[in-house]
Structure 1
Amino acid sequence: MSTTAMNMIQALNSALDNKMSEDPTVLSFGEDTGYFGGVFRVTDHLQKNHGLTRSFDTPISESGIVGAAVGMSTYGLRPVVEIQFADYIYPAYDQIVSEAAKMRYRSGGQFTCPMVVRSPYGGGIFGGQTHSQSPESLFTHISGLKVVIPSNPYDAKGLLTSAIEDDDPVIFFEPKRLYNGPFDGWHEKPVSPWKAQELAQVPAEKYNVPIGKARVMREGNDVTILAYGT
Structure 2
Amino acid sequence: MIPLLLTGCAEKELINDPATGSILPDENSESLVDGQYSAATKYYDSRGYAQQLNILIKNGIITRVNLKEIDKNKADRLSVEGSDKTWPNLAVANLSTLYLRLYNELMLSQNPDEIDAISGATQTSERYINLSAAILDLAKKGDHEPIKIDTLDTYSITSTADHDGYQGLLQATFNGPTLVSLNYDEIITEDGKSKRKSTDSSVSTEFNALFDTITETAISTQTLESPFPINEASPEKAKYGECLRLLREARAPF
After TM superposition, the score normalised by the length of structure 2 is 0.24
Q: Which has the higher contact order (CA 8 A, sep 6+)?
A: 1
Give 1 or 2: higher strand fraction. 2
* Greater Rg by CA: 2
